[in-house]
Homo-oligomer: A and B are copies of this chain.
């Protein structure tokens, strides 16, 4: 049973230094609203669904077979399916901390025992390379994913340890981590894994156990990367971030998820070792990436080939890669930057990625997920069947995938979501995500209980009610999002305008006090930087933190939706799409639907081909509701009429 008094209880990240201290997930209880609905859906449906799929594809049975001395390789999926068993375990661990009376703890006990049963006496643990295939251990670090799998195993163990539990899973984790230290620590084996992930995990395990050796190994892996030592051939070293040392690179590049996990691990290590120069450098990489290589919906990764970042301003919409895991890794990295620096821009990114990538990836059934997140769909693929785990990553939401990193990544994020909401420092409390919640934690040496009342993102009012406080002086701060054009806060009848950043109110807070933040969530037009060639002549529509899209269920690929008026009237209406959010707001506007009446033999000529056009009212819907009405065409960026050359 999780121990509610554990000092790191429910902390997804627990740095020993930094500007801000995270409020543990256990101190933040989500209440009615957008994220509560998803966290509950995760517990009720996503987790059982994941457990079902890792069983049915043989991913758990691989552990049983390994333990029994059978050939554990046969399975559907690739050689690193262990990682998804571990991410499921991690999600169960967070969920067991959140709902100790729920079924997650028992499910995790079974899964942990299974995992532990496949561990070899020396601590080595991998169902593909271990036991009957022991001769191949660590023979293919570029593409074998053994240390990547350890990373996810360790993160599951850290989640369990931070619930105050020691069990089969945590025993397996410590033994595996020690095996990694014995193999790659102060030895002649100075290799690294092709897929970063173990670095952050090792730092976190050091934080959770106090054992320096894990921190040291993380530092070694970080320092070894960037010297082109991984075998690669056709794909090149940039894919693995092994082309140049971290400190020599000023922007994220290569495989997006790998780059973001590496960033998270590097921040963790730099924070623990007091390497502020490296933190600053990593912040610079991040800022450059946000400024030039990030999609409006928060997605990262412009290229399907190599699942990688593109060049600056290379942000194609129809073939955006923008992997769901990239947004999750981005939220994780952003949280580390938030804690290290105290700057609000990182939580701005997290909000954008959460509402427009993470929420989009999750089907309201809790049983389907997006892997790739396009910003334009002209030729919808068929929806995979309920029993399909497709190879393709660019399908509509699927029940599972051949490589199924995204669903289990979503599960662990939703289960630990409350841990990304608030922080404290010596002077007070900071609210980073504007979500309805009850926060009961220690602030400036006293116990404080707050309730956050809001129906954000639908409404722009966020009211913080002080339920418990002893009247001492402290500062209550909350993030005013970067998109806010006019905002004000009101405390005890005192109203003042605030600008994006942290709005702060210092006083002797007493029970019954209220702070009200009012944001203007009127629909707004967003113009892309002209350097983003892929969206020349277009605008997007946003409302609050949400990106909207023009979706046409059953749409014809050849129909184009444009804005006849570059400054169109935008009218709020009910969104009219089934989902978890009955209060969802749509935005009605006049669009011009143009259908070319011919397909010319050659699509380039002295003038555009003839077309018929008609204006109609269309209700733009939040991007996260896209694709719930069957195959559809969709656009985030709407061309403005008259922009055709």
Q: Which residue of B lies closest to A314 (CB)?
A: B318
Distance from A119 Cβ to chain B, minimum over Cβ atoms (Å): 29
Interchain CA distance A602-B345 in the complex, whole Å: 10
Distance from A483 Cβ to chain B, minimum over Cβ atoms (Å): 9
Interchain CA distance A158-B308 in the complex, whole Å: 43
Query: A527-B645, A604-B527 given as contacts; is B534 within 8 A of A292 (CB)?
Result: no
Q: Which residue of B lies closest to A402 (CB)?
A: B234
Instruction: Flag the segment in A163-171, A445-453, A580-588, A606-614 that touches B.
Output: A606-614
* A305: Cβ under 8 A from any B Cβ: yes
* A594: Cβ under 8 A from any B Cβ: yes
Instruction: Determine which of B316, B403, B537 lies in contact with A316 in the assembled complex, contact meaning CB atoms within 8 Å.
Output: B316
In contact, B608 and A644 (Cβ under 8 angstroms):
no
Distance from A142 Cβ to chain B, minimum over Cβ atoms (Å): 14
In contact, B605 and A376 (Cβ under 8 angstroms):
no
Distance from A301 Cβ to chain B, minimum over Cβ atoms (Å): 12
Query: A531-B558, A645-B640 given as contacts; is B311 within 8 A of A604 (CB)?
Result: no
A residues 617-645 near B (Cβ < 8 Å) are 639-640, 643-645
Residues of B within 8 A of A471 (CB): none
Residues of B within 8 A of A305 (CB): 303-305
In contact, A606 and B525 (Cβ under 8 angstroms):
yes
Q: Which residue of B lies closest to A307 (CB)?
A: B305
Residues of B within 8 A of A304 (CB): 303-305
Interchain CA distance A531-B604 in the complex, whole Å: 11
Greatest chain B CB density within 10 A among A305, A530, A599, A604 is at A604
* A495: Cβ under 8 A from any B Cβ: no
Query: A392-B236, A644-B643 given as contacts; is B529 within 8 A of A312 (CB)?
Result: no
Instruction: Determine which of B403, B538, B596 lies in contact with A536 in the assembled complex, contact meaning CB atoms within 8 Å.
Output: B538
Greatest chain B CB density within 10 A among A312, A345, A532 is at A312
In contact, B526 and A605 (Cβ under 8 angstroms):
yes
* A296: Cβ under 8 A from any B Cβ: yes
Interchain CA distance A532-B596 in the complex, whole Å: 12
In contact, A536 and B643 (Cβ under 8 angstroms):
yes
In contact, A606 and B526 (Cβ under 8 angstroms):
yes
Query: A314-B319, A319-B316 given as contacts; is B391 within 8 A of A527 (CB)?
Result: no
In contact, B311 and A530 (Cβ under 8 angstroms):
no
* A313: Cβ under 8 A from any B Cβ: yes
Distance from A633 Cβ to chain B, minimum over Cβ atoms (Å): 11
Interchain CA distance A600-B606 in the complex, whole Å: 37
* A540: Cβ under 8 A from any B Cβ: yes
A residues 121-152 near B (Cβ < 8 Å) are none
* A379: Cβ under 8 A from any B Cβ: yes
* A378: Cβ under 8 A from any B Cβ: yes
In contact, A524 and B379 (Cβ under 8 angstroms):
no
Interchain CA distance A314-B639 in the complex, whole Å: 16
A residues 270-304 near B (Cβ < 8 Å) are 287, 290-292, 294, 296, 303-304
Residues of B within 8 A of A640 (CB): 645
* A428: Cβ under 8 A from any B Cβ: no
In contact, B608 and A529 (Cβ under 8 angstroms):
yes
- SS of A interface (majority): loop
In contact, A531 and B596 (Cβ under 8 angstroms):
yes
Instruction: Determine which of B233, B316, B402 lies in contact with A534 in the assembled complex, contact meaning CB atoms within 8 Å.
Output: B316
Distance from A372 Cβ to chain B, minimum over Cβ atoms (Å): 11
* A579: Cβ under 8 A from any B Cβ: no
Query: A319-B303, A527-B607, A594-B530 given as contacts; is B644 within 8 A of A311 (CB)?
Result: no
Instruction: Determine which of B526, B536, B602 lies in contact with A644 in the assembled complex, contact meaning CB atoms within 8 Å.
Output: B536
Interchain CA distance A319-B301 in the complex, whole Å: 14
Residues of B within 8 A of A512 (CB): none
Q: Which residue of B lies closest to A381 (CB)?
A: B311
* A385: Cβ under 8 A from any B Cβ: no
* A202: Cβ under 8 A from any B Cβ: no
In contact, A599 and B311 (Cβ under 8 angstroms):
no
Instruction: Determine which of B379, B530, B533, B540 lies in contact with A312 in the assembled complex, contact meaning CB atoms within 8 Å.
Output: B379
In contact, A602 and B537 (Cβ under 8 angstroms):
no
* A566: Cβ under 8 A from any B Cβ: yes
Residues of B within 8 A of A492 (CB): none
Residues of B within 8 A of A291 (CB): 599-603
In contact, B529 and A378 (Cβ under 8 angstroms):
no
Interchain CA distance A290-B602 in the complex, whole Å: 6
Instruction: Determine which of B232, B524, B533 lies in contact with A318 in the assembled complex, contact meaning CB atoms within 8 Å.
Output: B533
In contact, A540 and B603 (Cβ under 8 angstroms):
no
* A68: Cβ under 8 A from any B Cβ: no
Residues of B within 8 A of A482 (CB): 602
In contact, A290 and B538 (Cβ under 8 angstroms):
no
* A557: Cβ under 8 A from any B Cβ: yes
In contact, B311 and A557 (Cβ under 8 angstroms):
yes
Query: A311-B557, A536-B537, A560-B530 given as contacts; is B645 within 8 A of A603 (CB)?
Result: no
Interchain CA distance A594-B531 in the complex, whole Å: 10
Distance from A343 Cβ to chain B, minimum over Cβ atoms (Å): 11
Jot down 13 A-B pairs with beta carbons below 8 A, ordered by A: A233-B402, A291-B600, A303-B305, A313-B378, A525-B606, A527-B606, A528-B604, A529-B608, A530-B644, A531-B603, A533-B534, A537-B644, A566-B645
Beyond the given pairs A234-B402, A524-B606, A527-B644, 9 more chain A to chain B contacts, judged by CB atoms under 8 angstroms and listed by A's residue number, are A236-B391, A292-B603, A319-B319, A376-B533, A527-B606, A529-B596, A536-B538, A537-B644, A566-B645
* Chain A interface residues (CB < 8 Å from chain B): 78, 232-236, 287, 290-292, 294, 296, 303-305, 310-314, 316-319, 345, 376, 378-379, 391-392, 402-403, 482, 485, 524-534, 536-540, 557-558, 560, 563, 566, 594, 596, 599-609, 611, 639-640, 643-645
